[in-house]
Copies of this chain bind each other. A is one copy, B any other.
Amino acid sequence: MTTPLNATAASLLGFLHERPMTGWELVETADARIGAFWSLTRSQVYRELAATARRGLIQAGETGPRHRRPYSLTDAGRAAFQRWAETMPAPEQIRYPLLLAISFGSYIPEETLAGFVAAHRREHHERLAAYERALPDVRAHGGPQAVAVLDFGIRYERAVLGWFETLPWELARQSL
């Protein structure tokens, strides 16, 4: 029995359904399309690509200019992806160090915490704005899946910003 794909490898195979891509392109694509909820680093991609090729799920094409090495999906890769697609996705994992800081807030100076909150709030504000700017284009050129996923991001950011609003002023004095 072949070991099942991990989600990271599956995401690479997912993108390769569209067309053969190089490691570089996969990093860019993944960052743009799933980076908000499934990040991967360059190192990881090249390592996973090598491992996945060794398993015969993808195969490298000819090296092009600038050492471009496009990988394409094999039939075995398509089948492995399908097996991944049949298994219930694990629950989401959230790691939010700011919430850790707030949890231990009684041991942290108020102004320090307020500064953290202010910085994070700004960041989320920007992310929401970026998502909203992207929406028309995704609606026009992306599939319903891309729209749904972007909508998740927008709702998430709005929820977080709404939460920031309600933080007791001792926790969040500075404004936007």
Q: How far is the CA of A14 from the CA of B174 in the complex (A)?
A: 15
Indicate whether A14 sits within 8 Å of B100 (C-beta atoms), given known contacts A81-B107, A85-B108, A143-B175. yes
Is A65 in contact with chain B by the CB < 8 A criterion? no
Asked whether, in the complex, the Cβ of A101 is within 8 Å of the Cβ of B85, the reply is yes
A169 CB to nearest chain B CB (Å)? 10
Contact partner of A159 among B96, B158, B166, CB < 8 A?
A: B158
Question: Does A19 make an interface contact (CB < 8 A)?
Answer: no
- B120-A148 in contact (CB<8A): no
Chain B residue with the shortest CB-CB distance to A166: B151
Let me know if B104 and A37 touch, CB within 8 A: no
Task: Give chain A interface residues in 7-22, CB to chain B under 8 Å.
Answer: 7, 10-11, 14, 17
Give me the 5 closest cross-chain CB pairs, A-B, nearest first.
Answer: A159-B159, A89-B97, A92-B96, A14-B104, A105-B145
Given contacts A156-B159, A156-B160, 12 further A-B contacts (CB under 8 A): A34-B100, A38-B97, A39-B93, A81-B104, A81-B107, A86-B112, A88-B116, A88-B119, A92-B99, A144-B171, A148-B171, A155-B159
